[in-house]
Amino acid sequence: MGGLSLIIGPLLLLAAALLRVQFHYFYDAQLAAYAEHPVLITAAYSCFVLGCLFLWPGIITLVRFIGMKHPALAVWGGMLTILGLIGRVFHGGIDHLAFQLVNVQSLEHAIKAVNDSYQAFHIIRYFNGWMMAGWILLAIGAYRSGTMGLIRSVALASMFFLPLGTLKGGSKI
């Protein structure tokens, strides 16, 4: 199950990125893209949330292998990564609500609502940085424990570059 998770999760994240790569990175452009292409953007954001959900069994499996030789790297990397995945799923809920505002109010009202509330406090936002550190710790642990070679460990560390936060696209920064 863990190995399958580590294949399906990244493939879903890649699909999400490829589906929305043509649209500008920030929330106003993401909402406009949804207004023009609701099925495409819904598919992209759904793939992203599903990719995050599918990853946790693989992370647990990876932690078990790393933990045989480097328990501290395994525990901290796994915990921080999973907390970050929870944060990304939380943001997926915010994204969904924002898209629904386009449907029930208008694009302009949705952009204003997101803009006016973008910096609102929520504890989950602090998970983002933890997850970035988690991927790096997992990659270091995977390499040092011999669980993964250098190339696969670097690929694992590259998860660090996934977009963070509410309504983030994948390109045209």
Highest mean pLDDT among 69-78, 84-93, 110-119 belongs to 69-78
Whose tokens are 């609502």? That residue is: 113
- Contact between residue 112 and residue 123 where contact means Cβ atoms under 8 Å apart: no
- Contact between residue 63 and residue 77 where contact means Cβ atoms under 8 Å apart: yes
In terms of Cβ atoms closer than 10 Å to its own Cβ (0-12, 13-18, 19+), residue 144 is middle
Q: Give pLDDT, residue 141.
A: 97
Predicted model pTM: 0.89
* 3-state SS class at 171: strand
Tens digits of residue pLDDT in 119-173 = 888 888 777 777 788 999 999 999 999 999 999 999 999 988 877 778 876 655 4
Mean pLDDT in the chain? 91
Among the ranges given (24-33, 61-70, 117-126), the one the predictor scored with the smallest mean pLDDT: 117-126
